[in-house]
């Protein structure tokens, strides 16, 4: 009788594991979220405001269905749509208002920059690289600056157009690198080329895509190297070779075993 009881206990324990595992699979915290008719579903590598960090690299705020926004480098851009190739089409009225002011105004570029180059994803965008230096009489060794603006203790210089896939030039002490969207139809290397209507393509690197496929989270370690954190590996499952079992069928089998003991 003891072996039979042990078998029944083991079977019921496995069924409980199966039930809990199926419950976890049914609840998907990273499920696509419908934003609006124009933007459609928000899904990886993007996530909504309430989803955990492992669901995506960029957060989309759909609380205002008419004017959804996407967060990039701490700034919220107005988002028109996202293409299947993960290209963001942005038309930012607030940014446009900023650009209509003097470019020498210190507040224009506050908390404003395109995403930086990253080992996690690649970036493709027309851009100008600005250097903002808090020094009344800055001494810059950059040889390719094309335009300057000086006001009080802030100095700006636009460097030659660089692909965002490349590493930016190292900033001088007291200087900050700012990536800004540029209109390719305007004269290059000029502050007049800055625009509030632009597209930004964000294809994931293969290693990061494989990490998310394994339910992991793409992050950078303290050395700036790519790491896959929290990957789940193979999904839990009941290795009985029986597929899904109805509870009534299990009860019938147990009754048969018990009656024949």
Q: Concatenate the DSSP letters of all residues of 47-95 into one string.
A: EETTS-GGG-SEEEE-SSTTS-EEEETTEEEEEEEE-TT-EEEEE-HHH
Contacts of 129 (CB under 8 A, 6+ apart): 158, 159, 160, 161, 162, 168, 169, 177, 178, 179, 180
Looking at per-residue pLDDT, the higher value among 37 and 147 belongs to: 37
Token pair belonging to 64? 């205002």
- Length of the chain (residues): 261
pLDDT at 233 over 50: no
The string of pLDDT tens digits covering residues 40-92 is 888 888 889 988 887 888 899 999 988 899 988 778 889 988 888 778 889 88
The string of pLDDT tens digits covering residues 25-42 is 456 778 888 998 888 888
**Which pLDDT band holds residue 161 (cuts at 50, 70, 90)?**
very low
Output the pTM of the full model.
0.62
The string of pLDDT tens digits covering residues 191-218 is 788 888 888 887 777 888 888 788 777 7
Contacts of 80 (CB under 8 A, 6+ apart): 38, 39, 89, 90, 91
CA distance 124 to 118: 12
Give the domain ranges of the chain. 2-26+231-259, 33-209
pLDDT value at residue 250: 47
pLDDT value at residue 210: 85
**Which pLDDT band holds residue 24 (cuts at 50, 70, 90)?**
very low
């Amino acid at each position: 009788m003891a072996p039979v009881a042990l078998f029944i206990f083991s079977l019921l324990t496995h069924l409980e594991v199966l039930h809990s595992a199926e419950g976890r699979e049914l609840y998907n915290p990273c499920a696509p979220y419908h934003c609006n008719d124009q933007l459609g579903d928000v899904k990886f590598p993007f996530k909504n405001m309430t989803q955990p960090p492992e669901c995506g690299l960029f957060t989309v705020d759909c609380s205002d269905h008419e004017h959804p926004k996407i967060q990039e480098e701490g700034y919220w851009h107005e988002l028109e749509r996202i293409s299947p190739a993960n290209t963001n089409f942005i038309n930012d009225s607030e940014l446009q208002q900023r650009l209509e002011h003097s470019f020498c105004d210190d507040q224009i570029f506050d908390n404003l920059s395109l995403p930086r180059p990253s080992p996690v994803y690649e970036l493709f965008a027309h851009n100008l690289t600005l250097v903002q230096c808090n020094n009344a009489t800055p001494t810059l060794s950059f040889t390719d600056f094309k335009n300057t603006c000086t006001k009080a203790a802030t100095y700006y210089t636009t460097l030659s157009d660089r692909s965002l896939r490349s590493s930016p030039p190292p900033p001088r002490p007291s200087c900050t690198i700012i990536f800004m969207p540029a209109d390719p139809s305007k004269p290059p290397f000029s502050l007049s080329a800055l625009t509030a209507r632009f597209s930004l393509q964000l294809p994931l690197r293969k290693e990061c895509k494989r990490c998310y496929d394994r339910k992991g989270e793409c992050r950078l370690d303290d050395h700036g190297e790519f790491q896959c954190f929290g990957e789940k590996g193979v999904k839990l499952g009941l290795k009985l070779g029986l597929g899904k079992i109805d509870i009534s069928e299990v009860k019938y089998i147990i009754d048969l075993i018990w009656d024949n003991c």
